[in-house]
Amino acid sequence: MPFLRTLGGSESIMAGHMKGARLAFTKPALLDKLVQGLDEIPMDDRDTKGDVYEYLLSMISSAGENGQFRTPRHIIDLIVRMMDPKPTDTVCDPAAGTAGFLMMAAEYVRETYAKELLQDANRQHFETKAFTGFDFDETMLRIGAMNMMLHGIEEPRIEYRDSLAEGGGEDTGHYSLILANPPFAGSLDNESCAKDLLKVVNTKKTELLFLALFLRLLTTGGRAAVIVPDGVLFGSSKAHKAMRQTLVEDHRLEAVISLPSGVFRPYAGVSTAILIFTKTGRGGTDHVWFYDMQADGWSLDDKRNPLLDESLLGPAPARALGADEHAKNNLPDVLARWNDATGAEHQRPRTAQSFYVPKDEIVAAGYDLAINRYKEVVHAEVTHDAPKDIIRELRELEGEIAMRLAALEEMLA
């Protein structure tokens, strides 16, 4: 469809991303069926168009070639609600993919700060500068830009960039909030990596280089909530330890939220965690909040079926969850404890699902951030009968069995 490449003018965002697009339909009847189906859906509402697009994205069931996989929407929703982006924030995702984080952040700001967005300055910032995403996959750029436009951002800043490569330092210290799930592709050639990132952490591991990138992009006082593989929390290499030490000593590490290992199925079974930190440049870590999330409301197998009614899924259910429901969905509890204003979290024992750990203890543990390093497991004391009593009971049972068999044989005689 060549006209898509000039939609909005030859210099428009749409035209730029559609330049290399091609029509993938090989059968006219299939395209006709799709158009007829979409035509039956009322598209006047922005949310409907966005929901249809998100549904289509959810049907993408294969991971990319570079460790890419779609972050579940309810996990993004939790992270966005925890970070509470404001109309004045400049939000960035350096590994944007389908722009899920940026889209959810925009929806959250639109719903939570509707009155503030009536101000011209806030509205203009929201529509032009508030949300920026980078990716080096042109297909993902196209999908992400369309996602943002369908959710009301008319000129999304979704740009082509290899975030870890040399030459991307013009926006250093530019963003107040980073939300990201960077790819865990393994190793990267140091020759193609930005030298200023290697000065922060000398490694080929992409997950560590992305953490260094986040610190570079954030303004002082800027916050980040990012998903990392568990290896970042307890890896024993010099680079792993140096990165954790940087977060704890040079900035303010606020939270480590351990995610269930099946969250990213069927794309990947890797164990992950959410890191939340603030760039300060002069420390500030006092206590670190740990949460052991064991369920997210969906089955943790490849099928990922919902375990609760739709209104009870996600971090903001229609009502408070009971004990059985909480066991299937920890997200509302994570959000409630994170926003705790009573100080109860600081009083929780290490046996609880969440607790605080002082910085001194983390330093003493070699900056290990694995929750199992600090969580205490209480073993219930179990008393057993004496062996002689167990043998006696077994002999009594055998005698009773023999008597009943004898009675059964007499009945059959």
Tokens linked to 34 = 């799709």
Q: Are both 181 and 233 inside the same structural domain?
A: yes
Q: Residue 15: exposed, middle, or buried by beta-carbon count in 10 A (0-12, 13-18, 19+)? A: middle
State whether 184 and 285 are in the same domain.
yes
On whether both 145 and 190 belong to a single domain, the answer is yes
Does 17 share its domain with 142? no
If asked whether residues 107 and 32 sit together in one domain, one would say no
- Establish if 303 belongs to a structural domain: yes
User: Are 36 and 55 part of one and the same domain?
Assistant: no
For residues 89 and 169, membership in a common domain is answered with yes
pLDDT at 226: 97
Any domain includes 1: yes
The Cα–Cα gap between 151 and 142 comes to 14
Torsion of CA 105, 110, 114, 117, to 10 degrees: 80
Say how many domains are in the chain: 3
Q: What tens-digit pLDDT sequence spans the chain (413 residues)? A: 676 666 666 666 667 777 777 777 778 898 899 889 888 888 776 556 667 776 776 665 444 444 456 788 899 999 999 999 999 999 999 998 888 899 999 999 999 999 999 999 999 999 888 999 998 888 788 888 888 887 777 777 888 888 888 766 678 899 999 999 988 766 666 666 888 888 888 888 889 999 999 999 999 999 999 999 999 999 999 999 999 999 999 999 999 999 998 898 877 778 999 999 999 999 999 999 999 999 999 999 888 899 999 899 999 998 989 999 999 999 999 999 999 988 899 999 999 999 999 999 999 999 999 999 999 987 777 888 899 999 999 999 999 999 999 999 888 87
Task: Examine residue 205 and state whether it is found in any structural domain, yes or no.
Answer: yes
Residues 320 and 392 in one domain: no
Please choose, from the candidates 63, 79, 57, 89, the residue with its C-alpha nearest in 3D space to the C-alpha of residue 228.
79
pLDDT at 58: 66
292 & 401 share domain: no
Same domain, 205 and 350: yes
Dig out the tokens for 238 from the structure.
């010099």
Residues 3 and 90 in one domain: no
Do residues 70 and 100 make contact, with C-beta atoms less than 8 angstroms apart? Answer: yes
| Burial grade of 147 (CB within 10 A; 0-12, 13-18, 19 or more) | buried
- Model pLDDT, residue 64: 46
Cite the DSSP H helix spans in 186-270: 195-200, 206-217, 231-234, 238-245
pLDDT computed for residue 46 by the predictor: 58
Any domain includes 378: no
- Using one digit for the tens of pLDDT, what is the confidence trace for 255-276? 999 999 889 887 777 899 999 9
Burial of 143 (0-12, 13-18, 19+ CB in 10 A): buried
Q: Which domain holds residue 32?
A: 1-40
